């Protein structure tokens, strides 16, 4: 790939002594998520555990006391069973429960002190995606067994199993409290509704596996990205996609909507879609015009994860090139960068917008302060 990184003279380097490194996992850390309330950070790893870290207030760095941690074991015996890799995790809206999805096809529900409350067994293959609805009364899981399941969180029974895909389901996302979308390696996207036996809508158009789907903050537009190198925007009002973004030249692994525009805390800023690709770039799209705003070139290897700051002004990105970049959305410029000790699988921002976490292939999780 011939990508000449933009001159990074303007970017300030975040040094190791400004970063808190959380150690304890014994295998790659695939997923991380801040609790929506308070300073708890969850991480999920190939070592068959998830962990909940209590991150102290105040600056990160080597001088910070080691945080308290709860280890959430997904196995009974002593062995590290590979089948129990933690692939995905999600906090409920109150931050009182954490759901984890595992390679063994089970979803597990934990309280914030790491106590196992429930084990949900119905899937027959690894769970790759798991999401609470906003209200918290349903949990949605998508699996390699080609199905999505809605779980009733009052009884933890399966409310409905959706069997529309002909291949593994890779991602699920709620549109509102009763309706959601699923995507799969079968190139299809289905919009489903609890109580309905058929999809409300089927979106066909991708020529490769659909890796991720995300509803915009109002639930009116659905973004998708695929191995076919495109990101697309869909509306329930039509069958064909509204926009077909083709500026990437390799697979697109993930997408994120900015927390801006209608229905957000930042209503006066425009809505932007970010897409992260194996071509080492991140693209920012003006969704209204259907045009490219910025191409962020600074990574040297596939970009696995992007996350917006809560105020919608910054974007964090993590790549296999071991670097975490922070970009200014407005200028499309790299402003800060940190080099870790492994490829980065996920980055996430806390709700105050002053700390960023990243999880790495070298078994660590890093927490970085963000102040402009």
Residue 77, pLDDT > 80, answer no
Strands 333-339 and 12-13: parallel
Share of the chain above pLDDT 70, in %: 96
The structure tokens listed for 179 are 């309706």
Instruction: Give residue 371's pLDDT.
Output: 85
Share of the chain above pLDDT 90, in %: 89
Instruction: Kindly report which listed range (8-17, 151-160, 203-212, 307-316) carries the lowest average pLDDT score.
Output: 8-17
For 83, phi and psi rounded to 5 degrees? -70, -10
Instruction: Give residue 144's pLDDT.
Output: 98
For domain 43-53+70-323, the CATH class is mainly beta
Determine contact, residues 317/327, Cβ cutoff 8 Å.
yes
Instruction: Give residue 308's pLDDT.
Output: 98
Region label for 136, one of left (φ > 0), alpha (ψ between -120 and 50) or beta (otherwise): left
Residue 259, pLDDT > 70, answer yes
Rounded-to-integer distance, Cα 343 and Cα 364, Å: 10
Instruction: Give residue 82's pLDDT.
Output: 62
Instruction: Give residue 76's pLDDT.
Output: 75
Q: Is 75 or 5 the better-scoring residue by pLDDT? A: 75
Residue 6, pLDDT > 50, answer no
Q: Is 17 or 3 the better-scoring residue by pLDDT? A: 17
Rounded-to-integer distance, Cα 189 and Cα 192, Å: 10
As a whole number, mean pLDDT of residues 70-82 equals: 75
Rounded-to-integer distance, Cα 362 and Cα 344, Å: 9
Determine contact, residues 32/365, Cβ cutoff 8 Å.
yes
Region label for 208, one of left (φ > 0), alpha (ψ between -120 and 50) or beta (otherwise): beta
Residue recorded with tokens 């999780």 = 365
Residue 47, pLDDT > 50, answer yes
Instruction: Give residue 238's pLDDT.
Output: 97
Instruction: Give residue 2's pLDDT.
Output: 40
Residue 72, pLDDT > 70, answer yes
pLDDT band with cut points at 50, 70 and 90 for residue 62: confident
Q: Is 137 or 8 the better-scoring residue by pLDDT? A: 137
The structure tokens listed for 55 are 């991150």
Residue 162, pLDDT > 80, answer yes
Instruction: Give residue 83's pLDDT.
Output: 78
The structure tokens listed for 228 are 């076919």
* Cα-based torsion angle of the residue sequence 336, 342, 346, 348 in order, rounded to the nearest 10 degrees: -40
Strands 323-328 and 314-319: antiparallel
Determine contact, residues 314/307, Cβ cutoff 8 Å.
no
Residue 3, pLDDT > 70, answer no
Annotated domain spans of the chain: 43-53+70-323
| pLDDT tens profile 198-218 | 999 999 999 999 999 999 999
C-alpha closest to that of 306 among 243, 361, 258:
258
Rounded-to-integer distance, Cα 140 and Cα 142, Å: 7
| pLDDT tens profile 276-298 | 999 999 999 999 999 999 999 99
pLDDT band with cut points at 50, 70 and 90 for residue 70: very high
Burial of 279 (0-12, 13-18, 19+ CB in 10 A): buried
pLDDT band with cut points at 50, 70 and 90 for residue 372: confident
pTM score of the predicted model = 0.94
| pLDDT tens profile 106-149 | 999 999 999 999 999 999 999 999 999 999 999 999 999 999 99
């Amino acid at each position: 790939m011939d990508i000449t990184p933009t001159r990074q003279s303007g970017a300030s380097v975040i040094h190791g002594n400004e970063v808190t490194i959380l150690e304890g996992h014994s295998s790659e850390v695939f997923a991380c998520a801040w609790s929506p309330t308070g300073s708890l950070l969850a991480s999920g790893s190939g070592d068959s555990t998830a962990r909940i870290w209590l991150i102290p207030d105040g600056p990160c760095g080597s001088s910070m006391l080691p945080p308290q941690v709860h280890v959430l074991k997904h196995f009974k015996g002593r062995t590290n069973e590979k089948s129990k890799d933690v692939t995905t995790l999600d906090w409920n809206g109150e931050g009182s429960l954490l759901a984890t999805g595992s390679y063994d096809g089970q979803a597990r529900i934990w309280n914030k002190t790491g106590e196992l409350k429930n084990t949900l067994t119905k899937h027959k293959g690894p769970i790759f995606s798991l999401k609470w609805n906003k209200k918290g009364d349903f949990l949605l899981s998508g699996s390699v067994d080609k199905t999505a399941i809605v779980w009733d969180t009052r009884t933890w029974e399966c409310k409905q199993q959706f069997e529309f895909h002909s291949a593994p389901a890779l991602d699920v996302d709620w549109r509102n409290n009763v309706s959601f979308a699923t995507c799969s390696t079968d190139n299809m996207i289905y919009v489903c509704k609890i109580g309905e036996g058929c999809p409300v809508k089927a979106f066909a158009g991708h020529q490769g596996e659909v890796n991720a789907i995300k509803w915009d903050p109002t639930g009116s537009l659905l973004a998708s990205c695929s191995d076919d190198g495109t990101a697309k925007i869909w509306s329930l009002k039509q069958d064909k996609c509204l926009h077909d973004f083709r500026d990437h030249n390799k697979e697109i692994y993930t997408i994120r909507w900015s927390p801006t525009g209608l229905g957000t805390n930042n209503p006066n800023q425009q809505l932007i879609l970010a897409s992260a690709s194996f071509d080492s770039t991140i693209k920012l799209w003006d969704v209204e015009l259907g045009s490219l705003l910025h191409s962020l070139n600074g990574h040297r290897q596939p970009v696995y994860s992007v996350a917006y700051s809560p105020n919608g002004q910054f974007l964090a990105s993590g790549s296999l090139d071991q670097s975490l970049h922070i970009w200014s959305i407005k200028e499309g410029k790299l402003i800060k960068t940190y080099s870790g000790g492994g490829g980065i699988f996920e980055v996430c921002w806390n709700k105050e917008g002053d700390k960023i976490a990243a999880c790495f292939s070298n078994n660590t999780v890093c927490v970085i302060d963000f102040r402009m």
